[in-house]
Structure 1
Amino acid sequence: MAELGNSIEVSASGLRAQALRMRVIAENLANSGSVATTAEGDPYRRRVANFAAEVDRVSGATAVAVRSIEADRSAFGRIYQPGNPAADAQGYVAQPNVNPLIEAADMKAAQRSYEANLNAIESARGMTMRTIDLLK
């Protein structure tokens, strides 16, 4: 029974990690049009959640832990808008480094991983209930 509890905890850590990943992706999409207010400022910089394996010392199970949420250091896009207050001397405005297609693909991957962890929890719960029924 302890192994089933461990598997539920491992899957729960995956749920938490993927929920956070989806939140970060949603923030990226929400800010995909956020440019700086001045020529010297930077537009919104895409953020990425990084995960790491973490071993529970008590159970020995390996769970998912959020290592960090870091800024994506890829280059900003540029668009010619000479009348914009955020335009540089050449008339270009720096655009966020958020690509909606990449964000959509990342969101789909996070969603599928979330669903897989949810299915694993449901399976473990079902096995636990069947084991309890057998012990009655």
Structure 2
Amino acid sequence: MSEFAKSLIVTASALRAQAARLRHVSENISNADTPGYRRKLVPFETVSDRATGTETVVTGRVHLDRTDLPQVYDPSHPMADDSGHYEGSNVDLMIEIADAREAQRSYEANLKIFDQARQMSSGLMELLKK
């Protein structure tokens, strides 16, 4: 397998991983006000493919953030206990926005690498035609 094809395989795997990360970040943001919701965390793992001789990036098993849920005081809330408290969400919007920006920047960088490899391939084909 050519180095060109390997670079496209690695870049495509990184694009898929960052897209999955963005999807989970958006789920966290949309559930920030959902009582009892725990933030989803997406780890990245590298996988060696002996057939192609590449190491690709994949998302690991999604797990929940186990930090304590905040106790929200609202006696009128239907989920409130006898003391007027219920468990809120452990999603911090500032962290989620920072994660989304990081994932977006990484996605853009990988997309640029993919495009650069494509341009180099096109340039090589033009040279071979002459």
Q: What is the deviation of 1:87? A: 1.2
Q: Tell me, in whole angstroms, the C-alpha distance in 1 between the residues paired with 2:84 and 2:8.
A: 55
Question: Could you say what secondary structure the match of 2:57 adopts?
Answer: strand
Question: Could you say what secondary structure the match of 1:52 adopts?
Answer: strand
Q: Deviations over 1:93-132 (max 9, x none)?
A: 2111000000000000000000010001001101111111
- The equivalent of 2:68 in structure 1 is 75
- The equivalent of 2:101 in structure 1 is 108
Name the amino acid aligned to 1:77.
Answer: P
Q: Tell me, in whole angstroms, the C-alpha distance in 2 between the residues paired with 1:88 and 1:110.
A: 38
Question: Could you say what secondary structure the match of 2:111 adopts?
Answer: helix
Q: How many residues align?
A: 129
Q: Which runs of 4+ in 1 moved over 2 A?
A: none
TM-score by length of 1: 0.91
After TM superposition, the structure 1 stretch with the greater mean CA deviation from structure 2, 123-132 or 1-10, is: 1-10
- The equivalent of 1:134 in structure 2 is 127
Q: Tell me, in whole angstroms, the C-alpha distance in 1 between the residues paired with 2:82 and 2:47.
A: 49
Q: Deviations over 1:42-76 (max 9, x none)?
A: x1111011110011111211110111111111111
* Matched-pair identity in %: 41
- The equivalent of 1:16 in structure 2 is 16
Question: Could you say what secondary structure the match of 1:130 adopts?
Answer: helix
Question: Could you say what secondary structure the match of 1:129 adopts?
Answer: helix
Q: Tell me, in whole angstroms, the C-alpha distance in 2 between the residues paired with 1:17 and 1:45.
A: 21
TM-score by length of 2: 0.95
Q: What is the deviation of 1:83? A: 2.1
Question: Could you say what secondary structure the match of 1:17 adopts?
Answer: helix
In structure 1, list runs of 5 or more residues that go unmatched. 36-42
- The equivalent of 1:40 in structure 2 is none
Q: Superposition RMSD on alpha carbons, in Å?
A: 1.1
In structure 2, list runs of 5 or more residues that go unmatched. none
